[in-house]
Amino acid sequence: MYEKAEQYLKGVLQTHFDPKKLPPVKKWQAERDKLIAERGKLNQRYAELKDEVKQAEQMRKSVYSIIRQEQRERQPRRAQDIDR
């Protein structure tokens, strides 16, 4: 039985196996490698942009905090105005 299966598989492979009909594995691997490298670069750029956004958000919060503080200092204090 093993011998018959082996003969059958050899016959099938010889008649149906055509290297020209195989998918272009090397091209796919090259494209995959290129895409992996590109993804690495994009991930690095994403991390850089994420840090820039974080810094910009901190600066925005600081500016608004300073503006609010200046507005509070400009407004007269009601408790002191009433006592006078």
Helix (H) / strand (E) element for 13: namely: helix 2-16
> Domain locations in the chain?
24-74
pLDDT tens for the 84 residues of the chain, in order? 888 888 887 777 666 666 677 778 899 999 999 999 999 999 999 999 999 999 999 999 999 999 999 998 888 776 655 555
Question: Please, what's the b/e burial string for 5-44 (b: 16 or more CB within 10 A of its CB; e: otherwise)?
Answer: eeeeeeeeeeeeeeeeeeeeeeeeeeeeeeeeeeeeeeee
Rounded Cα gap, residues 54 and 60, in angstroms: 10
